[in-house]
């Protein structure tokens, strides 16, 4: 009956009630929309300088004001610092930068009082006069009332939100309630922004510390890409340091696999050309008929198949370094053109008439005896002397046995990471055997052997197939170290056989652990005079 009465009387006497209800709904809707807009502003602004003006423009729809500011507590001090401010004059002009940076004492400022009391405080015109020396800039802008709200996050006060009005009666209880709600969201947003800023500062500090550490490491170990500390290697790297800062042509001499390209790159990386290209040309890998085109380029139609213009490697490396690997393989008929490039820094493409001038530094490498080739008229003497301005010898691995262990550990770490293996133990007898081996293939041979060993090592111990070493060494080298190597090899095979309980074949047999076939292991046991104990 009550419902019916309300319905029947609705058109006559409940019009005001209905309008009041609609007004409340509209106010609640506006209130929720305001909070939603504030949330969107805070979510999209991590920069405190941009946050305050945008927030002020949204809040102004519900609480008219001319000034908004964010003051944050300065750790270890008794003051707040205005980090961001926004002032909107009656003419609509917005500014506030002249307020930022001001210090607000906790004991003698409106914001300081609110911060210390941890509650919202409203200061009207006559109350602001008690802080004349602090609020004079605001009063000069016409501010006659100030609402200061402490920003608290998890019981920690981090600063205050200041809202200033040109009218002394703006901050009614309803207006203050709205500001309080907004301030709670602002506190979380500011805390997140400060955390992000602190993380960024920590990242910058870590980056600076990392650069400092890398600089220290480079100072202590300037050739991080070249592993080893033996005297022959140090002598070669000292030569690299001397010549790198010049533009002199360098000839790197050494056997196959000694790391001549690493030395060439080290020269480039320590020169003033390090920001420019490093262009490598393997003269032995390119057919002699195509080498001239690769070096100097060609014009369209210069020969059959030249369907487009192509710049040569010297042109591509302009300003940088050209590395000619295996320079002894350059055909005799092409050597005069290379000599001209070295002397005049100019050349023409095949089929072209335009002279191209370049600025390149040449580093050449060879494993051949160029002087002997000159004597046999297979290499031009003038080119040889032009290349041999500053020779550097890459020492063979057999002359630097003390570098075996760091090289092994370096390759184990690299290949284990690539294959997702965990190898923690390298047997001492294995390292001894590797040190005694003459390494005709030098570092490249060692690298290939360690890669194979990592593949064959499912457990934490490195299992190097030492049986492969004797078969690949030269007869002379075998005779020099046969007795020592054979003794180490026999001890290693004996240890593996004992671990496998003298089982030769099968997935857990000694042959699998050694990385050889069962028949190969039997032959190896026969050669080393190993017999199963009774």
In this prediction, residue 485 carries a pLDDT of 56
Residue range 435-462: mean pLDDT, rounded: 88
Q: Which fold has domain 21-196?
A: Beta-Lactamase (3.30.450)
The DSSP bridge pattern shows strands 355-357 and 121-124 to be unpaired
Residue range 295-323: mean pLDDT, rounded: 87
Instruction: Please provide the distance, in angstroms rounded to a whole number, between the alpha carbons at the two ends of the chain.
Output: 111
Q: Can you tell me which residue has the tokens 């506030």?
A: 96
CA triple 80-84-90, angle to 5 deg: 120
Give the model's confidence band at 383: pLDDT under 50 very low, under 70 low, under 90 confident, else very high: very high
**What torsion, rounded to 10 degrees, do the Cα atoms 267, 271, 277, 278 define?**
0
Residue range 32-43: mean pLDDT, rounded: 77
Map residue 360 onto helix, strand or coil.
Answer: coil
What is the average pLDDT score of the chain?
Answer: 82
Instruction: Identify the weakest region by mean pLDDT among 53-67, 360-374, 496-510.
Output: 496-510
Give the model's confidence band at 16: pLDDT under 50 very low, under 70 low, under 90 confident, else very high: very low
Closest CA to 450 of 428, 432, 431, 436: 431
Instruction: Identify the weakest region by mean pLDDT among 266-275, 387-396, 451-460.
Output: 451-460
Q: Can you tell me which residue has the tokens 């009956």?
A: 1
**What span, in angstroms and rounded, lies between the C-alpha atoms of 134 and 137?**
7
Query: Domain 399-527 - what CATH class?
Result: mainly alpha
Closest CA to 166 of 281, 54, 45, 60: 60
In this prediction, residue 458 carries a pLDDT of 81
Give the model's confidence band at 478: pLDDT under 50 very low, under 70 low, under 90 confident, else very high: very low
In this prediction, residue 304 carries a pLDDT of 78
Higher pLDDT, 377 or 524: 377
**DSSP assignment of 419-446, as one string?**
HT----B--HHHHHHHHHS--TTHHHHH
Residue 393's beta-bridge partner residues?
253
Residue range 9-35: mean pLDDT, rounded: 60
**What span, in angstroms and rounded, lies between the C-alpha atoms of 309 and 351?**
10
Specify whether the CB–CB gap between 282 and 328 falls below 8 A: no
Higher pLDDT, 353 or 532: 353
Domain ranges for the chain, please list them.
Answer: 21-196, 231-395, 399-527
Closest CA to 349 of 357, 453, 283: 357
Instruction: Identify the weakest region by mean pLDDT among 11-20, 108-117, 139-148, 515-524.
Output: 11-20
- Whether residue 267 is predicted with pLDDT greater than 90 in this model: the reply is yes
**What span, in angstroms and rounded, lies between the C-alpha atoms of 144 and 58?**
21
Q: Name the strand (E) or helix (H) holding 159.
A: strand 156-165
**DSSP assignment of 216-281, as one string?**
HHHHHSS-TTS----HHHHHHHHHHHHHHTS---EEEE--TTS-HHHHHHHHHHTSTTTTS-EEEE
Specify whether the CB–CB gap between 411 and 446 falls below 8 A: yes
Its pTM surpasses 0.75: no
Q: Tokens standing for 81?
A: 């610092």
Q: Which fold has domain 231-395?
A: Rossmann fold (3.40.50)
In this prediction, residue 324 carries a pLDDT of 94
Instruction: Please state, as a whole number, how many other Cβ atoms lie within 10 Å of the Cβ of residue 300.
Output: 12
Q: Tokens standing for 322?
A: 């050209």
Give the model's confidence band at 150: pLDDT under 50 very low, under 70 low, under 90 confident, else very high: very high
- Whether residue 415 is predicted with pLDDT greater than 60 in this model: the reply is yes
Give the model's confidence band at 343: pLDDT under 50 very low, under 70 low, under 90 confident, else very high: very high
- Whether residue 54 is predicted with pLDDT greater than 90 in this model: the reply is no
Residue 493 makes CB contacts below 8 A (sequence gap 6+) with 466, 467, 510, 514, 521, 524, 525, 528, 530
Q: Name the strand (E) or helix (H) holding 200.
A: helix 173-220
- Whether residue 113 is predicted with pLDDT greater than 60 in this model: the reply is yes
**What span, in angstroms and rounded, lies between the C-alpha atoms of 90 and 60?**
13
Q: How is residue 108 annotated by DSSP?
A: S
CA triple 468-471-472, angle to 5 deg: 90
**What span, in angstroms and rounded, lies between the C-alpha atoms of 489 and 379?**
44
Q: Name the strand (E) or helix (H) holding 479.
A: helix 475-499
In this prediction, residue 482 carries a pLDDT of 45
- Whether residue 382 is predicted with pLDDT greater than 60 in this model: the reply is yes
Residue 469 makes CB contacts below 8 A (sequence gap 6+) with 433, 437, 449, 485, 489
For 311-338, how does the pLDDT look when each residue is reduced to its tens digit (9 = 90+)?
A: 889 999 999 999 999 999 999 999 999 9
User: Which range among 46-55, 219-228, 334-343 has the greatest average pLDDT?
Assistant: 334-343
Specify whether the CB–CB gap between 352 and 299 falls below 8 A: yes
CA triple 464-467-473, angle to 5 deg: 105
**What span, in angstroms and rounded, lies between the C-alpha atoms of 324 and 363?**
6
């Amino acid at each position: 009956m009550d419902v019916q009465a309300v319905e029947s009387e609705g058109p006559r006497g409940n019009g005001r009630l209905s309008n009041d209800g609609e007004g409340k709904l509209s106010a609640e809707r506006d209130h929720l929309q305001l909070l939603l807009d504030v949330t969107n502003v805070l979510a999209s602004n991590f920069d405190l300088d941009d946050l305050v003006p945008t927030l002020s423009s949204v809040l102004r729809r519900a609480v008219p004001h001319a000034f908004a500011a964010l003051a944050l507590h300065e750790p270890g001090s008794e003051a707040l610092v205005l980090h961001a401010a926004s002032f909107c004059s009656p003419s609509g002009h917005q500014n506030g930068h002249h307020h930022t940076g001001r210090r607000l004492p906790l004991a003698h400022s409106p914001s300081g009082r609110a911060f210390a009391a941890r509650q919202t405080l409203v200061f009207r015109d006559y109350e602001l006069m008690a802080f004349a020396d602090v609020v004079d800039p605001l009063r000069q802008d016409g501010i006659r009332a100030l609402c200061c709200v402490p920003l608290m996050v998890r019981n920690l006060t981090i600063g205050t939100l200041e809202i200033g009005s040109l009218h002394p009666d703006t901050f009614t209880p309803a207006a203050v309630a709205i500001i309080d709600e907004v301030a709670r969201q602002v506190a979380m947003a500011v805390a997140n922004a400060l955390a992000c800023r602190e993380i960024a500062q920590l990242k910058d500090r870590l980056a600076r510390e990392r650069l400092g550490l890398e600089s220290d490491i480079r100072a202590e170990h300037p050739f991080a890409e070249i592993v080893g500390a033996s005297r022959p290697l140090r002598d070669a790297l000292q030569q690299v340091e001397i010549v790198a800062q010049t533009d002199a042509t360098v000839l790197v001499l050494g056997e196959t696999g000694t790391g001549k390209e690493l030395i060439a790159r080290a020269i480039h990386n320590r020169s003033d050309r390090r920001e420019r290209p490093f262009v490598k040309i393997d003269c032995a890998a390119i057919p002699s008929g195509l080498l001239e085109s690769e070096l100097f380029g060609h014009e369209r139609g210069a020969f059959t198949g030249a369907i487009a213009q192509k710049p040569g490697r010297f042109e591509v490396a302009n300003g940088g370094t050209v590395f000619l690997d295996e320079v002894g393989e350059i055909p005799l008929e092409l050597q005069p053109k290379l000599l001209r490039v070295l002397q005049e820094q100019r050349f023409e493409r095949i089929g072209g008439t335009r002279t191209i001038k370049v600025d390149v530094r040449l580093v050449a490498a060879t494993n051949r005896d160029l002087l002997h080739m000159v004597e046999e008229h297979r290499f031009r003497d003038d080119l040889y002397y032009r290349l041999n301005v500053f020779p550097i010898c890459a020492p063979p691995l057999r002359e630097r046995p003390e570098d075996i262990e760091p090289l092994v550990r370096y390759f184990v770490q690299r290949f284990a990471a690539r294959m997702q293996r965990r190898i923690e133990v390298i047997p001492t007898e294995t390292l001894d055997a590797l040190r005694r081996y003459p390494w005709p293939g030098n570092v490249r041979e060692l690298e290939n052997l360690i890669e194979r060993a990592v593949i064959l090592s499912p457990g934490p111990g490195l299992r190097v197939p030492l049986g492969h070493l004797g078969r690949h060494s030269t007869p002379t080298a075998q005779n020099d170290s046969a007795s020592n190597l054979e003794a180490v090899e026999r001890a290693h095979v004996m240890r593996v056989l004992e671990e496998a309980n003298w089982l030769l074949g099968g997935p857990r047999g000694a042959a699998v652990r050694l990385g050889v076939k069962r028949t190969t292991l039997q032959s190896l046991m026969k050669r080393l005079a190993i017999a199963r104990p009774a």
